[in-house]
Structures are given as C-alpha cells and as structure tokens.
A and B are shown apart, each in its own frame.
Chain A
Amino acid sequence: MLLEVTGLAAGYGALPVLRDVTMAVGQGEIVAVLGANGAGKTTLNRVLSGLLRPRAGVIRFDETLITTANPEAIVSAGLIHVPEGRRIFARHTVEENLLLGAYRRGRTRRARNLARIYALFPRLSERRSQVAGSLSGGEQQMLAIGRGMMAEPRLMILDEPSLGLSPRLVDEMFDLVGSLAGDGTAILIVEQNVVRTLDLASRAYVLENGRIALQGEAATLARDPVLRQTYLGV
C-alpha cells in the first residue's frame, strides 16, 4: 500500500475529532472518503499532509513513517494535498501559483511540469500572467489542481474539488481526476457528490463523528441501503 494509516486520533485543543481511523490507499488507486459536514474529513487530510499533528496512531507513506513529519518533507515525498476552498494565492499570477506548486522541485523539472500543465489546461495558459484572484471559480479549481500536479504527486488528496462548480465543470473535474489516476497518480478524494464519487473510486470509507463507520468496494457501497438512506435520501 502507498498510504497506510493505523489507529489515527487527532483533534483541536480539548476537542477530539478523529478516533481510531485505519485506512489505506494503494498505488494508482482512487479512494473516496465520504461523510456529513463536520465528520472530520478535512481534519484527516490536514493530519495526512502534516498541518496537524496526530495524537495517536501511525501514518506510513511508501513504507516510510511520516506520522510526525513536517509538511515540506511530506510534499517532497510526493503526498500532495489540494485543500478545501482551493486556497490559491489570489494576488500571485497564475504562473506564479503553478511555479509555487513545484517549490520543492528543481528548475528543470519545474519548467517541464509547467509546459505539461499548460498543455492540459489551455485556459490557464491563456491567463498565465493574470492574477489568480481574477479567475472564475472553475478556473481557480483547475489552478488548485494544476498547482498540486506541479509537485509531481504520487498521491493527491482532493478536498471537495467540485464544491461551487457548475454541473458542466463538475463533469470536467471528475474526468480530470479519472485521467490523473490513469496516469498512475493515486487519489484520495473527499466529496459531497456521493454518486459521482462512488462511480469514480474503486474503494470508499465513510466517516461518522470521526470514526470509520463503513468501508468497502465503491460499487458495493453504492448499493448499501444505509448509505443510500443517509447520503442520498433514497
């Protein structure tokens, strides 16, 4: 397994959020994390990328312990977190955002990756010298993912990438995630869009109050009556 999480606990101050979370993501696999608002999905992502120290448990990435590693070491190892709400650098140009994505990579790889991203996202290429804050919501999401790709991820964590996008852009975004995985990048995707996500992922975990309440093959979960009742209301 590329990412292996065992018995993870985390929280803020006196507030415990995650309890005994055990999960894994394989090489090139798409894994979904589902759950209601406040279930702890973003907290899990923050712990995995080193923004928040866990209270207990073990995290391994590519056989290496990263439980208490710094974000920069985790980025260098190839675990890239594209955060909820995009968090692009609004006053930097589009190109500067992309270059910052490859902050931990050398100049030649940076230039190569930039060319690849521009080929994939012609709209970002057209707007390369515009400030990122002036982009539309959809373009900003593409930029956030493009910035993540600049770091050459082996595992990319996407936190609610379809939030606030029009239906057409949601389609584009899911296609993009599928093609990223097709190129060998493992994906851990957090989404509210349960149907589309279970369609895309091979496996899924359902978080409830910081614990894993359900897990399994995405196709099986898509037919699970409890899940359908809770998240789809059918």
Chain B
Amino acid sequence: MSTALLLSALVGGLANGAVYALVALGLTLIYGVLHIINFAHGSLLMLALYASWILWSALGVSPYVALVLLAPLFFALGYALQRWVIGPAGQGRDANVLLVTLGVSIVIDNLALAVFGPATRTVDIPLATSTIDLGVMYLPLPRLIAFVAALLLSGGLWLLLNRTDLGRAIRAVARESDAARLVGIRVAHIHAVTFGIGTASVAAAACLLLPSFYVSPDAGYAFVLVAFTVVVMGGMGSFPGALLAGLVIGVIESFSGLWFGPSLAPIGIYAAFALVLLFRPTGLFGARA
C-alpha cells in the first residue's frame, strides 16, 4: 500500500474525527454536568442541519455564515428545553429524564418528517467542491474547515470551562451541587446553560458538516451513534477524552475503510471500542475505577 494512500486516509480520518468529537463534546458536557444521557442529541443535530439548509436554500446563506447565527439560536433552544421541559418533567429521576429526552427526540424527528418529507437534501456552494493540494492528496476544503473549526471550538469550550466564572460554576455544579447552591449558584440556571452550550456545539457541528454531507429526518443517527461511542471511549464526561477519542475513531474508521472497504468501515470502530472497554473500562480519560 502506498504511503500517499495511507497519509490521505490519515488526514481524511482526522478531519472526520474532529467533527465526531465536536458532536460528542456537547453530549459529554451534558452528561458530565447534568448526569443525564441526552437521547435528543441526534435529533437536535438533524434539526440544526435543516435550519442551516433552509437558510441556504431560502436566503442563500452559506452554512459557515449560518453557524454564527444558529449557534446562539440553538443555545437558546437548548436552554429553554432543559429549563422548562426536561428539568421540570424529569424531577431529578434518571428514568424520567431518559424518557423525556427520548420523547423530545421522537417529537423532533416526526415534525421533521411531516414538514420536510423523507427526501435527502444537500447544499450546493462553490466552496464545497474546492480542494487544497496537500502534496500527497487533495483534501476537500469543507473538511479542512471542519477540522480546524472543530479544534478551535473545542479549545474555546475548554477555555470557557476552565478560565471563566461561568465555567467554574458549571464544574462546581457537576460535582457538588449542594455546595454550589450554598455559594449562591443557581443550579437550575447552570444546568440549562450547560444544555444550551451542548446544543449550540451540536448546531456548530451541523453547519460544518452540511457542505460535505446531507440532511434527512434520520441524518442525526449516522453521527449520534458514533458520538455515543466517542463519549464512552473518551470517558463519560471527559472533554479531552472526547476530543482524542473522536480523532482516534475517525482515523480507525478511515483505515478500516481502506482495508475492508467503505461499507465495513464501522467494524474497526466497534472493534476498537470493545478493546478500550476491555482494557480501560472507564474510557481513555475516565477516572480509574
């Protein structure tokens, strides 16, 4: 096998992996702080893909521009969802919360099906077909943008969590919610803000994906399954873990596609997943049991 082929598989894998990581970051953040598994994550990704597609098809707005608009909009959506739907309906019981997020996802999926029908839609922007010459390969420009943007957004989220008052409060709520209340942190508000940040990052992922992907009512599932794998592999709730696991899974998928053919590419992911769980049950960055 030629070096060029291997290198291009590596670069392509890293580019995909960065987007997987971005989708997973919101999921792992929400799990780490609210201790809930958000089953609506994939549906919210799909909703953001449609929102971005509508902005392009109705107004000609490029998905990269739409990101600036949709991230805050989806922050507000996520905030409202947690503050006024999931939080009150869940009443702090895990089983309730699970069912509520599942219910939210069913509602969103069926709304999308009713409004848009089952057809697959894509955007057609000139940028989407440009490539850049890396010497060994031509990398489609959207994938380079997605890679760089995913890394920047992850770095931004890390700074937000570790270098700001809000981030300090979010981390306090995650581990010691009574003590957080006792210093005057409004826990319900911080929960909603966290859910909002997770939802905004999934909207950002959608805008970065759309130029090289498609949207249909079940588009979220293609990613969210991988995202769940990334979250568990990285260590539930771990940020650096999700980033690393996302990149690793992207590369593994790309290489196993090269060797076993594209239709069998996921096999590599699940084999690696099983190995990680076998040897490090709490994930790459999870606390040791």
A interacts with B: yes
Residues of A bordering B, CB below 8 Å:
49-51, 70-72, 75-76, 80-83, 87-92, 96, 99-101, 103-104, 147, 151
Contact with A along B160-172 (1 / 0, CB 8 A): 0000010011011
A23 to chain B, nearest CB (A): 20
Partner of B172, one of A80, A83, A92: A92
The answer to whether residues A104 and B172 also contact, given A51-B178, A87-B179, A88-B179 and a CB cut-off of 8 A, is no
- Chain B residue numbers with a CB within 8 Å of A50 are 181
Docked-complex contact B171 and A92, CB < 8 angstroms: yes
Docked-complex contact A70 and B186, CB < 8 angstroms: yes
Question: For the complex, would chain B's binding face be called helix, strand, loop or mixed by DSSP majority?
Answer: helix
Within 8 A of A (CB), among B163-206: 165, 168-169, 171-172, 175-176, 178-186
Docked-complex contact B184 and A83, CB < 8 angstroms: no
**Top 3 A-B pairs, shortest CB-CB distance:** A75-B184, A87-B179, A104-B184
**Which partner residue on chain A sits nearest B185 by CB separation?**
A103
User: How many B residues touch A, CB cutoff 8 Å?
Assistant: 16
**Which partner residue on chain A sits nearest B182 by CB separation?**
A81
Docked-complex contact A72 and B185, CB < 8 angstroms: yes
Docked-complex contact B182 and A87, CB < 8 angstroms: yes
Partner of B184, one of A51, A99, A103: A103
- Chain B residue numbers with a CB within 8 Å of A96 are 168
Bound-complex Cα distance A180 to B270 (A): 59
- Chain B residue numbers with a CB within 8 Å of A82 are 182
- Chain B residue numbers with a CB within 8 Å of A92 are 168, 171-172
A34 to chain B, nearest CB (A): 22
Bound-complex Cα distance A114 to B208 (A): 43
- Chain B residue numbers with a CB within 8 Å of A104 are 183-184
Docked-complex contact B183 and A83, CB < 8 angstroms: no
Bound-complex Cα distance A228 to B172 (A): 42
